[in-house]
Amino acid sequence: MHRLDLAQIPRRHELRYTPRFSEDYLESLREKGDPLSDAVVAELASLGPITEFHNLLGVVRERAEKGSAVCRRFVEFGQTVPTWADFAAMERGQRLIATFPAHMGLSLFSGSLCGGAVFQKMALITSMTGMLSGDASRRLDETSAMVIGLAFPRAIEPGGPAHELLLRVRLLHSAIRHFLVSTGRFRHPREVPINQQDLAITLALFGYLNVRSLARLGITLTDEDLASYVLLWRYAGYVLGIDEELLPRDIEEQREFFLASLKHQGKPEKMSPATKGVLDSVARSFAGDGPLFPVVQTFLHQLCRYLSGNDYVTGMQLDDLGDDYLGIRAMRFLGRVQSALYHHVPGGSALLYGIGAFGYRRFLAESKRHRDAKGAYRVRTVDHAAYVPQPA
């Protein structure tokens, strides 16, 4: 098993910069976007307003075929695999996503999505684009579909659905970056929106922070599990245009970056109590307005606090019912049982994956059936409502 205490949450006063991730270095990351993808979007914008947010990748491929050099470079990038990307070695990490579906979903929602609001500048960019407007359960569906898509064999390889989605998200990031700056909605003397630090923090929310939350929920992972899972997200980060030096080689390295960035950008005291509304909306989608609603609501509130750490959700004003709150104890017990089945029972890992993958396929099919006519969700802009893709 892994030597690092993955379940540990350092107190806020214990956070430190490191020689590799110094304050000056992290500041420099906030000045850098994604040169290749930004150049593509700049060319598209020079031809007229960008309206096909839902099909930027298709537009780029069409322009590449017609001779655009920068679009051709982007297309070629999407077909290039770095020497360190071993898809066979990623399969174990892919399977983990479906092996522990309940814990994975609760970890990513309560710990990463809601707890990640501690990074206030990232949350501000999200609100400025309107991408987190609307129904919270739908936002959860969109994020879930993106992660779930990684759970299936070959999905992450060039041409696979997960790989295609990551390329689309990369172009979407550049389009939003261009939009916010060109319309004057984002003004800063040095920083750019959705910069390299923001991108690497987001990767860590799916990587290190998710692994930490799973450990706190009783899920035990081996070194082999962790290496595969980190490699999977390292490659996802590569496709998303994150600088090579920010792509983690192991969980310790990503933890070091995340904690230094938490010291640099984390503002728990500025988190709004309204953030609880996201938790409440999802609780209502599961329990309605009946007698079960306050039970589910309290569970999600306590889970967010437990996975994030009290120091990092102060502005949300969540009650502290203790780490032995019944719902948390139940999730830890279930995590230990599933971990035992996964590690020690012959055929147990295959059984858990099969059950999870079956549920995931049903979820994706249902999500596809209920998507908008254009397979997209709205993003507010100054002059009009444009469409951007729904991960699916």
282-326 residue pLDDT tens: 999 889 999 999 999 999 999 999 999 999 999 999 999 999 999
pLDDT of residue 372: 52
- Both tokens assigned to 227: 């290496």
Average pLDDT taken over every residue of the chain? 89
Distance of CA 208 to the CA centre of its chain: 11
- Residues making up the chain, counted from first to last: 392
How does DSSP classify residue 314? G
pLDDT of residue 369: 73
Q: Domain segments of the chain: what residues?
A: 12-266+346-389
pLDDT of residue 185: 86
Task: Give this prediction's pTM.
Answer: 0.90
Among candidates 304, 313, 319, 311, which has minimal Cα distance to 120?
A: 313
Q: 150-159, 275-284, 361-370, 380-389 — which is least confidently predicted?
A: 380-389
Q: What's the N-to-C CA distance of the chain in angstroms?
A: 34
Q: What residues form DSSP beta bridges with 377?
A: 388
pLDDT at 40 over 60: yes
Band (pLDDT 50/70/90 cuts) for residue 334 is very high
In angstroms, how far apart are the furthest CA atoms of the chain?
62
Q: 70-84, 168-182, 319-333, 344-358 — which is least confidently predicted?
A: 168-182
Q: 35-49, 193-207, 229-243, 354-368 — which is least confidently predicted?
A: 354-368
Q: How far apart are CA 309 and CA 265, in angstroms?
A: 16
224-245 residue pLDDT tens: 999 999 999 999 999 999 999 9
> CB atoms < 10 A from the CB of 189, how many?
5
Band (pLDDT 50/70/90 cuts) for residue 367 is confident
Band (pLDDT 50/70/90 cuts) for residue 381 is very low
CB 370 within 8 A of CB 359: no
Band (pLDDT 50/70/90 cuts) for residue 389 is very low
pLDDT at 141 over 80: no
Q: How far apart are CA 27 and CA 291, in angstroms?
A: 48
CB 11 within 8 A of CB 311: yes
Q: Where are the alpha helices (DSSP H) in 266-379?
A: 276-287, 293-308, 326-344, 348-369
What is the rounded average pLDDT of the residues 332-357?
Answer: 97
pLDDT at 127 over 80: no
- Both tokens assigned to 159: 């041409």
Band (pLDDT 50/70/90 cuts) for residue 129 is low
